[in-house]
Amino acid sequence: MQEEKTIKAKSDPDVNSVFGYGFADVIGQYDWDETLRLVAGATDDDVRRVLAVARRNTRRLTPEEFAVLISEAADPYLEEMAQLAHHFTQEKFGNTISMYIPMYVGNACTNKCVYCGFNHDNPFERTVLTPEQVEEECKAIRKLAPFENLLIVSGEYPSLCGVEYLEKVLRIARPYFHNLTIEVQPMRSSSYARLVKSGLDGVVCFQETYHKEAYKKYHPRGMKSHYDWRLNGFDRMGDARVHKIGMGVLLGLEDWRADIVMLARHLRYLQKKYWRSRFSVNFPRMRPSESGFQPVSIISDRQLARLTAAFRIFDHEADISFSTREAPEYRRHIMPLGVTSMSAGSRTEPGGYAVYRDKALEQFEVSDGREPADVARQIREAGFEPVWKDWDKIFD
């Protein structure tokens, strides 16, 4: 009987990724406090040594070397880091910023994330767009700007926004957009594979925080309360050969330094194991005003700039994405530090582009509410070329 279970676990990717073969089993070797000490204890000599390795560019930096570059000891080297980050970005991505736009299709959610407006306990009328409404939204987005890169977002409510529903949405959206990515509840590997067959290009999922105890506190109910299930979701995406896997943490839920180093370790693990996939990273800052939530640690503008440059120096391939959560001026300044992807014109409520304009509740307040054309103009003025689609798969 025991043997049967072992054989099943080795042959079924769904089972593998839930019980014992995903990053949830690896992360235990990294201690949170030790990681914080690594950052806090970095010295000027450490920074010089890591930057010398980065400049030689004969191997990739380790996550522990990345930890040195996000430390306060690296602050005097910000200008040099910015130049290196820009150089590595240009080598891989040229002068382009890939534009995308989110389309929220539902705000029903079974989870109770304490920092989110779609929280299950928040009393408001929930909406899930009908196929006709999805099409209306697609048309309205295409009228806004020539976006080819669509991020389909919903709350986590599998019985309303499950695989069947998402398959329909993908089919409706496909004629309007070149790249289709989803940001919904984590799924089984077989469900991801099914959606890939229906035209899915990418999946974005935020681990939110890698601190296991804090994670439980912030996500007390619903499937999202299962830390390991969410963490191993990225393995399930890789198993299903999802072309592009998007990862993210919310900076400020716990100490941002440890969270971002854990994200770097997770990225390296996934890159080795799922080398066919491309990766993107997002690290938005939590704001004190969101849903009355107070972040545990605040990351300053300068620290975020340092972190962005450090991430690009650490990894030359991953997309670094900045959404409309950041204000226009800051997005302008952060652009040359390694950013390769930006959203514009975002509405964060279902039907926000056409069906329910000004009616439903936003998931979060956007800080950059400009029209896509204005964002594109700013990008050009900064010396970059806005492209309205993601890189074609053929270039990978």
Number of Cβ within a 10 Å radius of residue 167: 17
Q: How far is the CB of 222 from ligand SF4 (least distance, A)?
A: 7
Q: How far is the CB of 200 from ligand SF4 (least distance, A)?
A: 19
| Residues with Cβ within 8 Å of residue 211, at least 6 apart in sequence | 32, 253, 254, 255, 258, 259
**Angstrom distance (rounded) from CA 223 to CA 120:** 12
Which C-beta is closer to ligand SF4: that of 113 or that of 304? 113
Under DSSP, is residue 159 helix (H, G, I), strand (E, B) or coil?
Answer: coil
Q: How far is the CB of 159 from ligand SF4 (least distance, A)?
A: 14
**Angstrom distance (rounded) from CA 90 to CA 86:** 6
**Angstrom distance (rounded) from CA 276 to CA 218:** 33
Which C-beta is closer to ligand SF4: that of 118 or that of 314? 118
**Angstrom distance (rounded) from CA 247 to CA 233:** 11
Interface residues with ligand SF4 (CB under 6 A)? 109, 111, 113, 116, 118-119, 155-156, 224
Q: How far is the CB of 111 from ligand SF4 (least distance, A)?
A: 4
CA Rg value for the chain? 20
Which C-beta is closer to ligand SF4: that of 143 or that of 221? 221
In this structure, are residues 232 and 17 in contact, taking their beta carbons and an 8 Å threshold?
A: yes
Q: Which of 66, 152, 146, 98 is nearest to 280 (CA)?
A: 98
Which C-beta is closer to ligand SF4: that of 248 or that of 338? 248
Which C-beta is closer to ligand SF4: that of 22 or that of 106? 106
Which C-beta is closer to ligand SF4: that of 80 or that of 362? 362
Q: How far is the CB of 190 from ligand SF4 (least distance, A)?
A: 22
Q: How far is the CB of 348 from ligand SF4 (least distance, A)?
A: 10
In this structure, are residues 160 and 211 in contact, taking their beta carbons and an 8 Å threshold?
A: no
